[in-house]
Each structure stands twice: as C-alpha cells, then as structure tokens.
Amino acid sequence: MALSSPGIRSNKKTHINCGSSARMAGNMCANVDQIRRQGRWNNTTINGAYLTNLPRELVRSMAGFPTYDRFFYIACAALNPPTSLCKKLFPAIGE
C-alpha cells in the first residue's frame, strides 16, 4: 500500500511499515518490550533499526512535560501572532 501510491511495484515482501509502526507505538508511550514482542524482534534489532535512539522520557521531562502522560498541551499553539508578523511571513495572503 505504501509503495503503490507513488507507483512503485514490487513482488517482494518489504519491511517498510515495520519501522513506522514501531516508532508510532513508541511515540504513544508503548512499552518497548511490548513493541519488541509484537514485531518478534530481539533487543538489538529493535533498537538498531526500528526505534529512535532518543530517550523519550528524559526528553519530555527536560521540556517540562510529564513523563507519565502521552498527550501534551503546547501553549504557543493557542497564541495568535500579530498581523504585522503574519504579513512579513506570508506577504501573499493579504493580496
């Protein structure tokens, strides 16, 4: 499916979705052991090929977010920038 959209044809089995599904599960705070078991990977394979090397809990705590929750509210997303800034960044919008 991922290869058919851009018109790539293959008769071989690919592992194109394995990494993305493992990373998505990791982003949702799934337990690494559960991800490893689901994909039937050993520790070396999952850490080397399918998951990122970022220590997610440490990164979240350093950014000021709780490590126990998987949904985050980013306050800057609720701000409306000044019109003058918008015009500088996107001059074609006002036309």
pLDDT in tens, 7-66: 777 776 666 667 777 777 777 777 778 888 877 777 777 766 667 667 777 887 888 777
Q: Using 50, 70 and 90 to split pLDDT, how confident is the model at 73?
A: low
**The pTM is what?**
0.44
How far apart are alpha carbons 45 and 42 in whole angstroms?
5
Contacts of 72 (CB under 8 A, 6+ apart): 60, 65
pLDDT at 32: 79
> What HEC string does 41-74 produce?
CCHHHHHHHHCCCCCHHHHHHHCCCCCCCCCCCC
- In this model, does residue 91 exceed pLDDT 80? yes
pLDDT at 25: 79
pLDDT at 79: 79
